[in-house]
Amino acid sequence: MMMTSAENLAVFQSLSDLTGEMREAAQGSEWDRLAGLERRCAALVAQLESAEAVRLPQDMQRQKVELIHKILADDAAIREYTEPWIRQVQALLGTASRSRCVRQAYESGAWNF
C-alpha cells in the first residue's frame, strides 16, 4: 500500500491521539475502554506496517519524531497504571487455581484414609 507523506503523518497523529485516550482510560481504570482503544491502535500500527516506507520532508519528519516521543511517553504511563492491576489479577487467578486444585483433591477422595 502506498501512503503519501501527509497520510503517514496523519496516521502517527491518530496513534498519538489514541495513546492519549488510552492513558486517560488506564488512569481511570476503564479497562474495557482501554481494550477497545488498544484494538484501534493495533489496526493503525498494522496499516503502517503494510505501507511502503515514506520519505518525509524535514519539517514533517520532526513532527513525526515528536509524535513518537509522545506515544512512547503515553505507553510508559499506561504501563504504570496497568501493571499493578495485572499483578492483582494474576494473584487472584493464582489463588483461584490453588483453590481449584485443593477442591479437586478432596473431591477425588485422595485424602480419604
Q: What is the pLDDT of residues 12-21, one digit of tens each?
A: 999 999 999 9
pLDDT at 110 > cutoff 70: no
Per the domain annotation, does 21 fall within a domain?
Answer: yes
Cα four-point dihedral sign 77, 80, 83, 84:
negative
By C-alpha distance, which of 26, 48, 21 is closest to 37? Answer: 21
Place of cell 492519549: 20
Per-residue pLDDT band for 95 (boundaries 50, 70, 90) equals confident
Per the domain annotation, does 51 fall within a domain?
Answer: yes
Owning domain of residue 78: 5-108
Q: Over the stretch 31-63, which tens digit does the pLDDT of each residue have? A: 999 999 999 999 999 999 999 988 999 999 999
Per the domain annotation, does 113 fall within a domain?
Answer: no
Q: What is the mean pLDDT of residues 63-76?
A: 97
Running DSSP on this structure, what letter comes out for residue 55? P
Domain count, the chain: 1
User: Residue 58 maps to which CATH number?
Assistant: 1.20.58.380
The Cα 34–Cα 42 span in angstroms is 12
With beta carbons less than 8 A apart as the criterion, state whether 54 and 8 touch.
yes
Question: For a pLDDT cut of 70, what percent of the chain falls above it?
Answer: 96
Per the domain annotation, does 9 fall within a domain?
Answer: yes
Per the domain annotation, does 77 fall within a domain?
Answer: yes
By C-alpha distance, which of 11, 14, 16 is closest to 74? Answer: 16
Per the domain annotation, does 61 fall within a domain?
Answer: yes
